[in-house]
Chains A and B, each alone.
Chain A
Amino acid sequence: MSLKFPIYMDNHATTRCDPRVVEAMLPYFTEDFGNAASRNHKYGWVAEEAVDYAREQVQKILGARSEKEIVFTSGATESNNLAIKGAAHQYKDRGNHIITVKTEHKAVLDTCKRLEREGFEVTYLDVDSRGQISPDDVKKAITDKTILVSVMLCNNEIGTVQPIAEIGKITRERGVLLHTDAVQGVGRMPFHVDEMNVDLVSISAHKIYGPKGVGALYVRRNKPRVRLTAEMDGGGHEHGMRSGTLNVPGIVGLGKACEILVKEMEQDIAHVRGLRDRLRKKLEGALEMVHLNGAEDPWRHPGNLNVSFSFVEGEAMMMGIKDVCVSSGSACTSASLEPSYVLRALGVDTELAHSSIRFGLGRFNTEEEVDYVAQIVIREVNRLREMSPLYELHQEGVDYKTIQWVAH
């Protein structure tokens, strides 16, 4: 099989739409273009039926009891905003304290920061060197003012899986709502809203081989019945929680993506895990000083390989492997010139954070691609190390950490 360039290994950023998803969506752009809120004609009924069917498909992947617990949104950023702000504003009379984690996605962290400006108090929990929080820390952080705990299922940069089930036991016992941003985790690991006692779950279609611009929020309706204050005013769609005409083709696509994952989850996981382990073995076999960022299985996303190649800067690395699409925690890849806040929260040395590369394996990657990528990554790391004064110091037996550098 011939390779097609560039090779895409950035499946945490987004995924290619599965052709089966596209096929399912197509009729809803043309023949069946109706507004799902049109109650009085065929076009509306067909659209509503499609949305209801998608709701059931999403319900199944989350293990929700009722399809009524699924609220469609424009994506996970909106789902996270709606879950956190909606719950905070709804339950502000009960308390003003929210607990989250330092390594959450910005859609959660910045939402919490805005709430702080409104007078809410937010605790940002620390993670250990693998990126995990301790359920005990959640227990200790809960006060009688706490209304919500928000912890992601799986981290988008380092792939660390959080112990949601254990956290859920605690929040349920204390009568505090639990939200999880499950964007990266859903379909990659067993997940069930009842077994994990979560009350709010954000998911996104484009991370699971569906289209961009559509997501969902699970909102528990029973034990406890969660109410959210709507963040947008309008026609009162989605049980009044999210106004706006439904994106019918997108929702159909999200539903289909979930259906495929439910059916094929086991083989999908085995496929990406096999590729990830193959890549890791090749890199670690050929190169010294390759550091894994994050946790080992079972606390790791099966398709995530985030590694730091000592003495090589991440952006230079990415320029060198320009036929391969990956991402880096290096400052140079961001406008802020700050290295990844996630890696820093783990306590990874700043220089290693600059050297990190995230490979995100997905459904459409192949062994041939992994072999090619491993080969050129090894070539580039060696080339850049030959050019690196830090590597030369290392070879001379000098630990560059003992040198007093003058920061600029």
Chain B
Amino acid sequence: MAYSDKLIEHYERPLNVGTLDKEDPNVGSGLVGAPACGDVMRLQIKVNPETQVIEDAKFKTFGCGSAIASSSLATEWVKGKTVEEAMALKNTDIVKELNLPPVKIHCSVLAEDAIKSAIADFRRKQAVARGEDPDVGIGQKDENVVQLSK
């Protein structure tokens, strides 16, 4: 199948590959997917707690070219947005931008899940810092258990 030039560009020269310090209270990490399904995405955001603006985003992805491109685009898009704005990003926006073929739509779903999961993790950490109940329902509750928002 032929992929769009934008997709290939993001695959060949992905933006924001890397790792943020997951211990940083201002960093939210989302790890979604499963190795057995052939794709795992980890997306991290660093948020300014005052402004709620996402100042940095990094990803690492095990998956096909479309999954890598979707993650690269997702990190690029959330940077500079507030957490609220980032929550509003839809997988269909990614599908449109990268012109993903139907069999690759799940890659965009995974990217949206990764954003939401990272934000949930950030919010949980903030709640802990404020001494509130950290269990906000989604996101990573446990180091070794990955919850996937559906």
Contact = CB atoms under 8 A, between A and B. Distances in A.
Interface of A: 311-316, 319-320, 330-332, 335, 337, 339, 349-351, 354, 386-392, 400-408
B63 interface: yes
Interface of B: 3, 8, 11-12, 14, 17, 19, 31-42, 60-68, 103, 106, 109-110, 113, 144-148
Contacts of A404: 144-146
A392 B34 contact: no
A402 B67 contact: no
Contacts of A331: 37-38
Nearest to A351: B35
Contacts of B14: 387
A350 B19 CA distance: 26
Given A387-B17, A388-B60, 19 more contacts: A314-B64, A319-B3, A319-B8, A320-B12, A330-B38, A330-B64, A331-B38, A335-B103, A350-B37, A351-B36, A354-B35, A354-B38, A388-B40, A389-B61, A389-B62, A392-B60, A400-B35, A404-B144, A407-B37
A403 B106 CA distance: 22
Contacts of B37: 331, 350, 407-408
B60 A403 contact: no
Nearest to A392: B60
28 contacts: A313-B38, A313-B39, A313-B62, A313-B63, A315-B65, A316-B64, A316-B65, A316-B67, A319-B8, A330-B38, A331-B37, A335-B103, A350-B36, A387-B60, A388-B40, A388-B60, A389-B41, A390-B62, A391-B62, A400-B35, A401-B35, A405-B36, A405-B146, A406-B32, A406-B34, A408-B32, A408-B33, A408-B113
B65 A319 contact: yes
Top 7 A-B pairs, shortest CB-CB distance: A405-B34, A351-B35, A354-B38, A315-B64, A332-B64, A389-B42, A350-B36
A326 to B, nearest CB: 15
Nearest to B147: A406
A408 B41 contact: no
Contacts of A351: 35-36, 38
Nearest to A353: B38
A347 to B, nearest CB: 14
Contacts of B63: 313, 316, 332
B144 A337 contact: no
A331 B33 CA distance: 15
Contacts of B38: 313, 330-332, 339, 350-351, 354
Contacts of B64: 313-316, 319, 330, 332
Contacts of A408: 32-34, 37, 106, 109-110, 113, 148
Contacts of A337: 103
Interface centre among B35, B106, B113 (most CB of A within 10 A): B35
A405 to B, nearest CB: 4
Contacts of A316: 11, 63-65, 67-68
A357 to B, nearest CB: 13
A407 B68 contact: no
A405 B110 CA distance: 14
A314 B67 CA distance: 12
Nearest to A352: B35
A312 B62 contact: yes
A407 B66 CA distance: 19
Contacts of A402: 144
A336 B61 CA distance: 22
A194 B78 CA distance: 68
A405 B144 CA distance: 9
Contacts of B36: 349-351, 405, 407
Contacts of B31: 389
A402 B146 CA distance: 12
A354 to B, nearest CB: 4
Given A351-B36, A389-B31, A408-B32, A403 B144 contact: yes
Given A386-B17, A388-B60, A392-B60, A407 B34 contact: yes
Contacts of B3: 319
Contacts of A391: 62
B34 to A, nearest CB: 4
A405 B60 contact: no
A280 to B, nearest CB: 24
A314 B11 CA distance: 14
